[in-house]
Amino acid sequence: MKLVKEKGVQRIEGGTILSPLGYKAGGLHAGLRYAKKDFGVIYSEKPAHCGAVYTQSHFQAAPLKVTQESISQTHKLQAIVVNSAIANACTGEQGLKDAYQTREWIADRFQIPEEYVAVASTGVIGEWLPMEKMKKGCTEIKVDGNPEDAHAFQQAILTTDTVEKTSCCQVLIDGKTVTIGGCGKGSGMIHPNMATMLGFITTDATIPSDVLQSALKTAIDQSFNQITVDGETSTNDMVISMANGMVEHDALGESHPDWHHFQAGLNTVCEDLAKQIARDGEGATKLVEVSVTGANSHQDANIVAKKIVGSNLVKTAIFGGDPNWGRIVGAMGHSGVDLNPHQCDISIGDITVFSNGTPQPFNEEEVSRYMQAEQVNINVFLYDGEGKGKAWGCDLTYDYVKINASYRT
Amino acid sequence: MKLVKEKGVQRIEGGTILSPLGYKAGGLHAGLRYAKKDFGVIYSEKPAHCGAVYTQSHFQAAPLKVTQESISQTHKLQAIVVNSAIANACTGEQGLKDAYQTREWIADRFQIPEEYVAVASTGVIGEWLPMEKMKKGCTEIKVDGNPEDAHAFQQAILTTDTVEKTSCCQVLIDGKTVTIGGCGKGSGMIHPNMATMLGFITTDATIPSDVLQSALKTAIDQSFNQITVDGETSTNDMVISMANGMVEHDALGESHPDWHHFQAGLNTVCEDLAKQIARDGEGATKLVEVSVTGANSHQDANIVAKKIVGSNLVKTAIFGGDPNWGRIVGAMGHSGVDLNPHQCDISIGDITVFSNGTPQPFNEEEVSRYMQAEQVNINVFLYDGEGKGKAWGCDLTYDYVKINASYRT
């Protein structure tokens, strides 16, 4: 494992959800999908404190309801079971029963209380889970403690994703090394407030559930909640974090002298995963990062950044390598944030294209060439205050249409 | 001209903005575009009362500012000058000067006060108008009073549109026939609150400007503001209506016994144009109409309808003929309206696919076949109240991406 240092946070290249002490995982093909792995479990040797954030959709899927109920009762988790292919959303009473049944099977399998099991699903809405296959998964799943099993799990949760998403970092707490690992999946229906994605974060830190919950929310607001692939919010989105306390140190809280290390580490893992999800958006050829500074507030900056990165016209222009900054202005203009059109600068990469309400002369070919890269940065400076924010997305391509015009059929 | 009767409103097939008495128009190729007509004028023999609604974008284009200023001073208009190709938006002081100059040239051309001239532009943002060509347009434009000139004007305002949009109807006021004609253009950047389109409505009714303004706002809220092609709001959107009083009757107001005739006629023209714009959305192969009933309020119904019709995932599913109603639910779930997932029915055409929180068995092939039609209707029934609303859009296709990935280059 290679170490990459950044602001007191050491990124661990190649690290996974199994890098923190005391976690095991597994993934297998239970038959929900034609061939790909479709069923996975993360298991903690000790009951872990936990935090979770759920979709803001009013149509919350059955597994989220069951998981929310479990966590609110015990504030602890020891296992997370995930299936892809079928979302178990909009499935009425039967869907709830199926989620409870899955929870029960996993509790039996690991001999732990039912309330220590979180259930997550992703896939097509409105179909019932094939419970025989789910039972097969619950019975046959193995968690041997092999670090490579992380990949089996990570593959099992993917749907239209093309790559696994993973991140890991280490921070020092009371002089001891604490590890935070994460994985996630996209890749369509990705927009605000936990829209369409699953994220799982493990750590061996010692931290109470309420503190972890609050730290997770902070990290998510500037990462997962700032990505958009297509402006959609799913019924199944959830990010769950587990902290099993395998590294003994003074319990973390905001008054702990190393608190900011932990929060920075959690932020890093969440931002890494969020960017990987955006980059792997359905049909995407590149990652788009929009950075807004000089806004009235961080919230305003985040709103404007997300509006730009979510604009279909900006996304198609980036796909086409067309430095059509008018579309950036178009998106900003209807963000809902009060902007002064005469006080704003826009640059694509390092090249200023608009300044103080007036177009700037620039070399179109140079900007177009820059836009061919794997990542395109758009920077907006407002002259209103100290607020800053970032958002991430991807380009809108023929393949997005292709993937989504023939998802099920 | 063929008459089509509907609720006291007679649609006039083949009618145009020149069907009401006292209007002339013209359109020509001023050279802003390679070959297509790109410059047009509507002229009223008498100064007309007027109403206008403008984009909600904070980045309002120069012509809108000039038009707004004119109308607020005199509340009358006698000419509207429009160019396509260049939006004259985000063009700073120079852009404002150019819009004033255009207004002056048209005022000179027709020997009318400058404040009687409205200026409208559509096209690429951030480029200055080629004023020599604009001068050529202002000098050479002819308005001979030939009814066919309406088409020259209608063609001159189009950008990526593939067809002219026009509507016309007649209503009886005090036993006299009053005619309302309209035309418009889309076809990308179309979303809420006067997003990216131009609409021009002429009538020979006698109606004060403030009453016309209020009637126009009512008509627009249930028509133009309920269409979306790509969720974008442009810098240049505006709908202008002129009423020159060539048909003499008691001035219209809400207390006039035939008031509802006029409002119904205006609603009809606006809805016709809005649907034509949605149907001709960039790359669209079909019109999508979403109807929501049983909502808590009309506003809630409108919001939910527009959210569904604007969803990229719903739009691609419709393009693919995939009856994936889960995406409809997904869009409803994050509309911001408080919904009860267990109390809602969804049908595609006449076929119920979801009822009371549970998927309904249906023949997928039958629904898929229905979705191949020129128009696809989605109906949502909530069990919350009496609110109802409609929204219109189109499917999202390869051609949308193609058109927008290479708009300028």
Q: For residues A232 and B254, which has the higher predicted lDDT (pLDDT)?
A: B254
With an 8 Å Cβ cutoff, are B324 and A230 in contact? no
Q: For residues B326 and A250, which has the higher predicted lDDT (pLDDT)?
A: A250
Domain ranges in chain A?
Answer: 2-279, 287-404
Same fold, B2-279 and B287-404: no
Query: Which amino acid is residue B107, in one-letter code?
Result: A
Per-residue pLDDT band for A409 (boundaries 50, 70, 90) equals very low
Q: Which fold has domain B287-404?
A: Ubiquitin-like (UB roll) (3.10.20)
Torsion-angle region of residue B189: left (phi > 0), alpha (psi -120 to 50) or beta? left
DSSP, res A116: G
A401 neighbors B396 (Cβ within 8 angstroms): yes
User: What pLDDT does B192 receive?
Assistant: 32
* β-sheet bridge partners, residue B171: B178
User: Residue A188 and residue A194: Cα distance in Å, rounded?
Assistant: 12
Mean pLDDT within A33-51: 95
Rg of the Cα atoms in chain A: 21
With an 8 Å Cβ cutoff, are B233 and A332 in contact? no
Closest Cα of chain A to B305: distance in Å?
15
> Token digits for B385?
């109240």
Distances, alpha carbon B91 to alpha carbons B49, B100, B188, in Å? 30, 13, 21
Which parts of A320-363 fold into alpha helices (H)?
326-333
Structure confidence by residue, pLDDT tens digits, B186-211? 865 544 333 368 999 999 999 999 99
Tell me which chain B residues have a C-beta less than 8 angstroms from the C-beta of A191. 334
User: What pLDDT does A81 receive?
Assistant: 98
Is the ipTM value over 0.90, yes or no? no
Residue B212, φ and ψ in degrees, nearest 5: -60, -40
Structure confidence by residue, pLDDT tens digits, B33-91? 888 999 999 999 999 999 999 988 888 899 999 999 999 999 999 999 999 989 999 88
B/e letters for B234-250, b = 16+ CB within 10 Å, e = fewer, are bbbbbbbbbbbbbbebe
CATH number for the domain formed by residue range(s) B2-279? 3.60.70.12
Per-residue pLDDT band for B231 (boundaries 50, 70, 90) equals low
Strands A287-295 and A375-382: parallel
B314 neighbors B308 (Cβ within 8 angstroms): yes
Closest Cα of chain A to B277: distance in Å?
17
Q: What count of CB pairs under 8 Å joins A to B?
A: 230
Q: Residues near A175 by Cβ (< 8 Å), separated by ≥ 6?
A: none
Nearest CB to A126 within list B235, B325, B401: B325
pTM of the model as a whole: 0.83
User: Residue A227 and residue B331: Cα distance in Å, rounded?
Assistant: 17
Nearest CB to A334 within list B57, B341, B342: B57
